[in-house]
Amino acid sequence: MRIKEIHVVNIHAVFRIICNIFYFVLPKELRSCVFFHPNDGWKSLHEFIPPAILPQEYGGHLKQSSMINLLEDVEKLEKQFGELFRFGYVKTQNFRQSLRLITSGEDSKLS
């Protein structure tokens, strides 16, 4: 996946100074993709991202209750992926370990 733009919001004043210093060191292509938005009623952020898809804390129209709770979903999906990957991994891991005994025995015979 390619990142088109990076929008930085709610940064501390000290960090903003540091970012401004390093901003000029970045290549021109990267500078055109990085945007810092001050808390000015989120007007600068709304120029790039419509308020209809932003949460209320960033001046948008989405309520917190209507947003996806990623933490719960991540924990549930992590268990599912763990089960799926464990099945194939354990089988192949045991197979590789059993072959290691055979190949290590052949190596000792050759030397």
Q: 42, 55, 50: which is closest to 8 by C-alpha?
A: 42
Residue type for position 79 = K
End-to-end CA distance of the chain: 49
The pLDDT assigned to 99 comes to 56
Backbone torsion region of residue 37, taken as left when φ is above 0, otherwise alpha when ψ lies between -120 and 50, otherwise beta: beta
Tens digits of residue pLDDT in 52-100: 888 888 888 888 777 776 667 777 777 887 777 665 555 566 666 665 5
**pLDDT on residue 106:** 47
Distance of CA 71 to the CA centre of its chain: 14
Residue-wise pLDDT tens digits, 49-60: 899 888 888 888
Confidence label for 108 from pLDDT (cuts 50, 70 and 90)? very low
